[in-house]
Amino acid sequence: MTAIDDRTAVTDLDTTAQVLSGWGRTAPSLAAVARPGDEESIAGLLETARRPIIARGLGRSYGDAAQSSGGVVVETAQLAEIGTLDEGTGCIEVGGGVSLHRLMQEIIPRGWFVAVTPGTRYVSVGGAIASDIHGKNHHCDGSFARHVTSMVLATPTGTRVVTPHDDPELFWATAGGMGLTGVVVRATLRLLPIETSWMQVENRRFNTLDGLMSVMEQSDDGHRYSVAWLDCLASRAGRRRSILTLGDHAPAASLPARLGPRVLEAPAEPRLSVPMAPPLRMANRLSVRVLNEGWFRVSSHGTLVPLATYFHPLDGIGGWNVLYGPDGFVQYQFAVPPERRDVVEDAVETIAGSGVPAFLAVLKRFGPGTPGPLSFAQSGWTLALDFPVGPSGLSPLLDSLDEMVAAAGGRIYLAKDARLRPDLVPVMYPRLVEMAEVRRRIDPKDVLASDLSLRLGL
């Protein structure tokens, strides 16, 4: 950790020394935090910076992507303007600091939804682009950047408008580029029309992973959204429990009359919050086993579900990340090519035999990726898991999974990483040279840097 002299100016903008960490709470570092009020202040900050600098939205990257030890972190919350929705094209321009939650509150009552959402709506638009987030519909709609028609990007060499057709190299280097090409101050998004704020959901239970994955290959394309939950603990005679959840936006004609004005209802604020981390880890093999058993038993075969419940079940609890205990947790996510489903099966068995409890094991199918050299999603399979920090076997387990994934031509999600070995990065992301060329053009003095980029040598 590097000491910060808060009197050292990066511009005439005030900064505050602050310890920051990602959502997993595993790798805190001290930075000078700037909170500029407008685009011009951000541009000036980047053009005159004399220390490493990186943007930060709502801090939902699980690892250290939005931290800069000894440097400057630019919070984008003040970039909060929401422009006029073009009902004809379904496009809207928003500030880079606008959260998907606030955007949904504006657009859902008008019959629109974001084209791609992750498992939380508390992410900023700029962060969504920088991580090129994906959702349950990647197999048919791709990642977030596919639905960005243009962005205004502040860089150390000036602010510019970037589109997939005008400077496509910079556009796609920014999409998934983890903030290393500049700060997204505005973006124009293409939205998805909806008739209701409800989802038609079908749940199917499976007792083998092979059976689940075979059905996903056959049925995913018939539904806009698809995700599977896996029980990485309970196993008997080769049986591995799972639940496949298939979803589609419910048309107005499918809703019962009793819903009335709730046909297009914006998501609410969290009703509960966790005030502080418990003194002990609550996620252990016993608690995970109990939760998995409950989840498996209550799953139904088909139902109407509120949109917010379907996409963002954990958003109903503010600060849920502290429930993992004082040491935090690691969310580990990897992707492998479609023909390497064996890696998913081997990874699940390796995790089950490790003695390390895995909470929230989620499996999805990816469609084609984007041209972004650092964008995570690629055609194939992706598995995401939460691991509480503490068990002695966690580090060797994750190291072995890294090797398995890299050997299969796969990669791990940098937006969730805080511990990958640097030598595996060029194996997982073989187009780093393209990223470096773009960065040399727009950031010749290497101003843009984060704890993630320095740790991995990006």
Does 237 or 30 have the greater pLDDT score?
30
Residue with tokens 């509480």: 388
Task: Please tell me the distance from the alpha carbon of residue 135 to that of residue 304, in angstroms, as a whole number.
Answer: 20
Kindly indicate the confidence band of residue 9, based on its pLDDT and cuts at 50, 70 and 90: very low
> What are the sequence ranges of the domains in the chain?
91-194, 198-419
Q: What is the pLDDT of residues 119-161, one digit of tens each?
A: 999 999 999 999 999 999 999 999 999 999 999 999 999 999 9
Q: What is the CA radius of gyration of the chain?
A: 21
The pLDDT assigned to 7 comes to 33
The yes-or-no verdict on residue 204 having pLDDT over 90 is yes
In angstroms, rounded to a whole number, what is the distance separating the alpha carbons of residues 215 and 194? 27
* pLDDT above 70 (res 289): no
Distance separating alpha carbons of residues 301 and 362, to the nearest angstrom? 19
- CA dist 331 and 256 (Å) reads 39
Strands 91-95 and 183-190: antiparallel
Q: In the CATH scheme, what architecture does the domain 91-194 have?
A: 2-Layer Sandwich (3.30)
Lowest mean pLDDT among 99-103, 296-300, 376-380, 405-409: 296-300
Which residues, at least 6 apart from 177, have a Cβ–Cβ distance to it below 8 Å? 130, 372, 373, 374, 435
pLDDT at 281: 53
Coil, strand, or helix at residue 308?
A: helix
Within 10 A of 262 (CB to CB), how many other CB atoms are there? 12
Q: What is the DSSP letter of 416?
A: G
Q: How many residues does the chain have?
A: 458
Place of tokens 């996409």: 311
Q: Is the pLDDT of residue 261 over 60?
A: yes
C-alpha 158 chain-centroid distance: 28
pLDDT grade for 13, boundaries at 50, 70 and 90: low
250: DSSP letter: P
> Which residues, including other chains, have CB under 8 Å from residue 142's CB and lie 6 or more apart?
116, 134, 367, 368, 369, 370, 377
What tokens appear for 434 in the block? 């393209």
pTM > 0.75: yes
Position 350: which residue type?
T
Show the tokens assigned to 302. 């088909």
Element at 271 (helix H, strand E): none
The DSSP letter of residue 55 is E
Contact of 31 with 70, CB cutoff 8 Å: yes
- 198-419 folds as Alpha-Beta Plaits (3.30.70)
Q: Identify the residue with better confidence: 132 or 275.
A: 132
Q: Is 235 exposed, middle or buried (0-12, 13-18, 19+ CB in 10 A)?
A: middle
Tokens representing 371 are 């041209």
326 pLDDT exceeds 70? yes
**If 0-12 CB within 10 Å is exposed, 13-18 middle and 19+ buried, where does residue 238 land?**
exposed
Tens of pLDDT along 50-94?
899 999 999 999 999 999 999 999 999 999 999 999 999 999 999
Say how far apart CA 335 and CA 91 lie, in whole Å. Answer: 30
What whole-number distance in Å separates Cα of residue 58 and Cα of residue 80?
Answer: 12
What residues are paired with 99 via a beta bridge? 124
Least confident of 187-196, 265-274, 428-437: 265-274
Mean confidence (pLDDT) of the chain = 89
Q: Is the pLDDT of residue 215 over 90?
A: yes
Scan for tokens 């004005």, then name that residue: 261
Give the pLDDT band (50/70/90) at residue 240.
confident
